[in-house]
Amino acid sequence: MKKEGVNVSEQASRLLNKIMPPLVVFILFVGGWELIVRLIGTPAYILPKPSDIAQSAVNNWSNLVSSVSTTIVEALIGFALSVVLGIGTAIILALSKTVEKSVYPYAIILQTIPVVAVAPIIVIWFGAGINAIVIISFLISFFPILSNTLIGLNSTDQNTKNLFYLYNAGKLQTIWKLRFPAALPYIMAGLKISCSSAVVGAIVGEYIAGIGGGKGGLGYGITVAANRLQTPYLFACGLAASLLGIVFFLIINYFSNKLLQSWHESAMK
Amino acid sequence: MMKNTKTWFAAGLVAMTMTVAACGNNASEPASGSDAADAGNTSVKLLEGWFSKGEDGGYFAALQQDYYKESGIDMTIQPGGPEVSAMQLVASGKADFGISYADEILKAREQGIPVVGILAGFQYTPQVLIYHKGEEINGFEDLDDKTVYMGTAVPYWEYIKNKYELSTVQEMKYTGQLVNFINDKNALNQGYITNEPYVLAQQGVDVDVLKIADSGYANYADVLFTTEDYIKKHPEVVKAVVQASQKGWSYYLDNYKTVNPLIQTYNPDVTLEALDYEAEHQKEFISTDETTTNGIGFMTNERWTELLEQMLDAKGLSKEQDVSKAFTTEFLAKP
């Protein structure tokens, strides 16, 4: 009984110790920001106070929610596409050195072409709006997953590959039973990079291929706020975008830990 | 072993092909929509030049008041975006009609994009250069040694620099933000008479304007356009859309308060007050002696020719072209 009490208290204490320092820094930062801007009297369109930002978020809540949810949908679809095609392509490349050498350079080319330059072509092919934005989000998210997965699949321990060979395991069997599980840490790393890229990609897409109104997403909100000097709302959209990226990352990180915590050093406690 | 490899490879290829095909199918949807020309109403899509606003008020009025529907047109108005080109989308068939400027139409035609202006919403461009109230600027000739925030490759700016021989004006890229302009008393900024003065006044910044129209630049603004091909294949549709739009513009000029709530549903981040301000301040550019005599949306060969010459002088265009192919008034209703 006493032990249980100590454990609960200990856990709470540990959690508090973990959260308290960044929380204190956050409060000091926001408080300082509010205080300094108030004292200097800077206009809201130059640098809004945190309270201005909060107020504009409240005043424009339904529009903000509409923009955020549109961006979420676009980012999620782009990300899902990049996961499926990224991992799928990596597996195909890993099956044969010849195929890998033949195809991989074009993945690099795809990654290095500035998306802004090809956006007009994407808009013509897929139409302005959500289609084009998803494609752009996908293009920005695809390569980290492909690259990390491929490195992972090619990093399987040689001794275990030899063991599979001795047991007459097929190539596909080896991929599925050995190389893919062994590549999970790399795949998770790729996913972590890509999930926030997908959000940035969706917003970039909204700038260069998006349309206005309810389906315009945060890119639309940011553009209108900037154009109309609604700087507090501009900050609100920017912070919402950042929060979105963080949430995506935390979710991926959670799944990553779930998959790896029983066997891989990076996730063991 | 090799058999398994090939199977997997083929499966992967099929999966990717199906994914691409799925995207492709989606892309062809608008085209199939406009093929419904025979039964009942004709579906058409109109693509705006930017986010929805009062500058396209006539089209929203025609939509709201069922002028399109009464003409057998099932109209969809799609907002544009910061970087989306109505020109490219109409040219590639993704939209049937678009809204742009006469000078952009001439530029597009020089690039081989066969677009045609069919109605000029604005007889003169409502674009302006804003400057801080109290600054000694009486005309475009006073812009040397000033800083001007301007977008990229803006035809009227090339014309103004050329005409007024501006050599020491400092050009800065306008990024959609007005803060740089606010902080620099010596600065001018591109804008619309219907927007930036209102926005800045809300923040306590007083500005005056130089109207681009006063420079003599012969541009028509907010021109409804389509392709030569579309006109050839669907002349009845074009006529119906043009004349319903004219009625819409007439309605909007007097009844914008009725229509603006509809526009706001397409652009929810903009207030009704801003839309009303816009509607009020754009009237002088829409309704002129010319439109009283010849109807809203009227265009002349003289104006298009003058614009062409101005753009050639300013090197915005590099070769002569036949302006009579760039526009037509044949679908406009007489007043």
pLDDT in tens, B179-203: 889 989 999 999 999 999 999 999 8
| Upper half-sphere CA count for residue A31 (Cβ side, 13 Å) | 6
pLDDT band with cut points at 50, 70 and 90 for residue A5: low
Taking the C-alpha atoms of residue B316 and residue B158, their distance in angstroms, rounded to an integer, is 7
What pLDDT, on a 0 to 100 scale, did the predictor assign at position B130?
95
pLDDT at site A175: 85
Could you report the per-residue pLDDT of B305-334, keeping only the tens digit for each?
A: 999 999 999 999 999 999 999 999 999 998
Given a cut of 60, is residue B33 above it in pLDDT?
no
Strand order from edge to edge, sheet including B147-150: B170-173, B147-150, B187-192, B127-132, B207-211
A33-48 pLDDT, tens digit per residue, is 999 999 998 888 888 9
Query: CB of B253 within 8 Å of any CB in chain A?
Result: no
Residues in chain A: 269
Cβ–Cβ contact B164 with A under 8 A: no
Report the complex ipTM: 0.71
**CB B11: neighbour CB atoms within 10 A?**
12
Residue A269: the pLDDT is 61
Question: What percent of chain B has pLDDT above 90?
Answer: 73
pLDDT (average), residues A172-197: 90
Chain B positions in Cβ-Cβ contact with residue A43 (cut-off 8 Å): 203-204
What is the arithmetic mean of pLDDT over B244-251?
96
DSSP state of B332: P
Using the beta-carbon criterion (under 8 Å), do B177 and A127 form an inter-chain contact? no
Distance CA A144, CA B102 (A): 44
**What's the confidence (pLDDT) of residue B11?**
43
The average pLDDT across A3-31 equals 85
| Closest Cα in chain B, distance from residue A248 (Å) | 24
Residue-wise pLDDT for B251-310, tens only, equals 999 999 999 999 999 999 999 999 999 999 999 999 999 999 999 999 999 999 999 999
The radius of gyration computed from the CA coordinates of chain A, to the nearest angstrom, equals 23
Whether A85 and B79 lie within 8 Å, measured CB to CB: no
pLDDT band at A73 (very low <50, low <70, confident <90, very high): very high
Does B51 contact A119 at a Cβ distance shorter than 8 Å?
A: no
Output the average pLDDT for chain A.
89
Three-state SS string over B289-325 comes to: HHHHHHCCCCCCHHHHHHHHHHHHHCCCCCCCCCHHH
Q: What is the mean predicted confidence (pLDDT) over B197-220?
A: 93
Separation of alpha carbons B147 and A17, rounded Å: 53
DSSP state of B327: B
For residue B35, the Cα-to-chain-centroid distance in whole angstroms is 25
Residue of B nearest to A170 (CA): B1
How many Cβ atoms from other residues are within 10 Å of residue B160's Cβ? 24
- Asked if A218 and A206 count as a contact pair (C-beta separation under 8 A), the reply is yes
- Window 59-78 of B: residues touching A by CB (8 A cutoff) are 78
Q: Among residues 119-138 of chain A, which lie with CB inside 8 Å of chain B? A: 119-120, 123-129, 131, 135
- B27/A125 CB distance under 8 A: yes
Q: Hey, is the C-beta of A164 within 8 angstroms of any chain B C-beta?
A: no
Q: Select the residue of B82, B94, B199 nearest A223 (Cβ to Cβ).
A: B82
Q: Does B179 touch chain A (CB under 8 A)?
A: yes
Q: What is the rounded CA–CA span in Å between residue B202 and residue B205?
A: 7
B235 band by pLDDT with thresholds 50, 70 and 90: very high
- Say if residue A155's pLDDT is above 70: yes
Whole-number Å distance between alpha carbons of A196 and B227 = 41
Please determine, for residue B31, whether its predicted confidence score (pLDDT) is greater than 70: no
* B287, burial (CB in 10 Å: exposed 0-12, middle 13-18, buried 19+): middle
- Residue B121: which of B222, B218, B256 has the closest Cα? B222
Which residue is closest to B271 within chain A, CA to CA?
A: A228
Distances (CA, A) of A24 to A125, A234, A243, B206: 50, 26, 19, 42
Q: Which residues of A touch B27 (CB under 8 A)?
A: 125-127, 131
